[in-house]
Structure 1
Amino acid sequence: MYWYKPFSKYILFTGGLLLLCTWYACKPEIKETGATLKYFDLKEFFKTDSVHLVKLNPNIKKTVTHNGESETKTVKIANWGQEFGLFTSSDINKPAWKDSYAVTENTDSLMYKAKFPELKTREIVIHKNNGKVTRLYILNNIHNLLYTTTEKLLYVPGEYYLIEKDQKVKVMSGNNYLIKGEF
């Protein structure tokens, strides 16, 4: 077993390195560290609104359109967090993106515009009245060699939400989706 002793140092070193990497990968998000967010907190906004909507449990007139064919139903949404998934996935508060958006602030609106073409979320416009969000618009765009997807998301609290998605895949026909939920 003379060959084992030199390797034991490498095994301990490698194990320690893996443990350190694992610890670093499990670091908490920005909000959990107490750091302030640079941009509007979409995740917290929709989390709060989802809790409010769960308590209200409203009937929603939901229309789903795919390539021009529509279907409308009145439904109860069981999971508002999932329903607002595309909105929350457009969150721009990632540490790597802290200087990636131009901010324009007016008395009644706040706009974030992407500075770099590779960013999925291209624009967020938030309209407010007395500090309360009255309208939220998000434009997402994904473009690569295989497909192009454009998402337009609109939320007017207490009135409706709209998800418009246009997808073009190379060598195939395009798909257009529209989801509208009216309170």
Structure 2
Amino acid sequence: MNLKNQLLFGLLIWAAFSCTSGQADKKMEKLPYFNLSGFVDLELAKLDGATVTKISEINGEETTVDKTFSLQDWKEEFEAFYSADINTPALALSYSTETEGEYLIHRLLPDSKGKVKEIKIRYIKEYPVAISIRTTDKNLFFSSITVGELYMNQATEKIDHYAIETTQKVWFLDPTHIKISGAIR
């Protein structure tokens, strides 16, 4: 009787893991574009507790700090990359996908509406080593342009450094220029 229970238990565990991995593979297959938020999640998990030398510049005033980030801090720091993920049903046909040498590029089609204008991923040996994003947001009272870049260290397979630059303009006010860059140690 004990052997039957063990076999049944083993079969149930095997079935549970096979169904889960199959569902994950199917989800990945359905994504029409590079899974930016998934990639950032995987890479930030490697940085939990890492120290960064962060340079913040707001309208020309620069501040440099060395800071240790938790996983939540990293997610807040990389919010621009999370918000640039274009894998939503509403955007499924809004971007062209091209390859130019070692680059995979998603560009917003001319007649499509979307904040993310371009995502460019540089691959070396089928692994992303650099990602850049360009987003714009504009309405009657407000406009913003954001450019973000992150670079991977091929030896450690972790994010090495990053930069996020934003210019915001509110109607009747001077533009605000914000630049954040960091080198991870």
Q: TM-score, normalised by structure 1?
A: 0.78
1:139 and 1:70 map into 2 onto residues whose CA distance is: 23
Summarize deviations over 1:113-168 as a string: whole Å, max 9, x none.
10146310000100010011111000000111001100000001232110100011
Match of 2:78 in 1: 84
Q: Look up the equivalent residue of 2:177 and give its one-letter code.
A: N
Q: Per-residue deviation at 1:33? A: 7.6
**Pair 120,98 (structure 1): closer, same or farther in 2 beyond 3 Å:** same
Match of 1:153 in 2: 148
1:146 and 1:64 map into 2 onto residues whose CA distance is: 26
Match of 2:174 in 1: 173
Match of 2:55 in 1: 63
Superposition pairs for residues 112-123 of structure 1, below 5 Å? 112-115=106-109, 116=111, 118-123=113-118
CA contact (8 A) 2:108 2:118 kept: yes
1:104 and 1:129 map into 2 onto residues whose CA distance is: 16
Match of 2:45 in 1: 51
RMSD between superposed Cα atoms in Å: 1.9
1:117 and 1:168 map into 2 onto residues whose CA distance is: 23
Q: TM-score, normalised by structure 2?
A: 0.77
For structure 2, the residue ranges without an aligned partner over 5 or more in a row are 1-23, 153-158
The count of residues paired between Structure 1 and Structure 2 equals 152
Say yes or no: does 1:73 pair with 2:74.
Answer: no
Match of 1:130 in 2: 125
Q: Look up the equivalent residue of 2:163 and give its one-letter code.
A: L
Q: Look up the equivalent residue of 1:76 and give its one-letter code.
A: T
2:88 and 2:151 map into 1 onto residues whose CA distance is: 25
1:141 and 1:93 map into 2 onto residues whose CA distance is: 17
Q: Look up the equivalent residue of 1:167 and give its one-letter code.
A: Q
2:112 and 2:64 map into 1 onto residues whose CA distance is: 36
Runs of 4+ more than 6 Å apart: none
1:47 and 1:135 map into 2 onto residues whose CA distance is: 15
Q: Per-residue deviation at 1:107? A: 4.1
Q: Which of the pair has more CA radius of gyration?
A: 1
